[in-house]
Amino acid sequence: MIKIAIVEDNNALRQSLCALLNQTEGMQCVVSLNNLLNVVSELNRLKPDVVLMDIGLPNISGIEGVRTVKENFNTIEVLMFTVFEDDDKIFEALKAGASGYILKKSPPEEIIEAVRSIYYGGSPMSASIARKVISSFQNDYQNQKEDFLLTTRENEILHSLIDGLSYKKIADKYFISISTVRTHIRHVYEKLHVNTKAQAVAKILKK
């Protein structure tokens, strides 16, 4: 039985969510709260597996609520359930400790599947949210390339070094000579302002 707590200030929505979960085989809504004021004591008393958390709550925001839940109950999974689709809210919630993020406009079957997924170790996200997360990582990668002005081939060779490939294996992988590999690596070192492979790897991983 998956035990779920709901924190949602819209009374009608909170009640309908609780009913939906209770009507689903293998799930039980053990508590529904309209704010976070007593969340620690309630979760400690009822020990849910998953918390369905709104962001726009009165007094204390849902993002702060995620931090509170994870600081006190590291085994409880938090699934954000919100209308917010802006990047800041998404990443603040995920950084605070949320393991999933779905929108309130999601159909009932998607909500149920998200609860089930997060319970079994998944990180469910509405499609539009997942696209934003992927786009952010892609933009970070592009910014990294632009910051150091590395060419595509220089990036490929640098990341092969990070993966632990030898000069010979890199040469074989990209069908180039070892001397060409050394030339590319020399250019990478110059652009990164480093002198060794270890320094280059450390700088990229830190970035």
Q: What is the CATH number of the domain that holds 182?
A: 1.10.10.10
Secondary structure element (H or E) that encloses residue 85, with its range: none
pLDDT on residue 126: 83
Q: Is position 138 within any domain?
A: no
Tokens 């709901």 belong to which residue? 6
91 lies in the same domain as 157? no
177 lies in the same domain as 128? no
Total number of domains constituting the chain? 2
pLDDT on residue 143: 58
Q: Is position 140 within any domain?
A: no
Q: At what angle do helices 197-206 and 178-192 cross, to 10 degrees?
A: 50
82 lies in the same domain as 16? yes
User: What does the angle CA 102 – CA 105 – CA 110 come to, to the nearest 5 degrees?
Assistant: 55
116 lies in the same domain as 182? no
Q: Is position 171 within any domain?
A: yes
pLDDT on residue 147: 60
70 lies in the same domain as 126? yes
For residue range 41-67, list pLDDT tens digits in order.
999 999 999 999 999 999 899 999 999
**Residue 79 exposed, middle or buried by CB count within 10 Å (0-12, 13-18, 19+):** buried
Q: Is position 141 within any domain?
A: no
pLDDT on residue 54: 94
**Residues 18/29, Cβ–Cβ less than 8 Å:** yes
**Residue ranges, the chain, pLDDT below 50:** none
Q: Is position 161 within any domain?
A: yes
pLDDT on residue 161: 87
126 lies in the same domain as 153? no
153 lies in the same domain as 111? no
pTM higher than the cut 0.75: no
Domain of 51 in residue numbering reads as: 2-133
pLDDT on residue 195: 85
**Residues 35/11, Cβ–Cβ less than 8 Å:** no
Residue after which a domain boundary falls, among 133, 167, 183: 133
pLDDT on residue 41: 96
109 lies in the same domain as 170? no
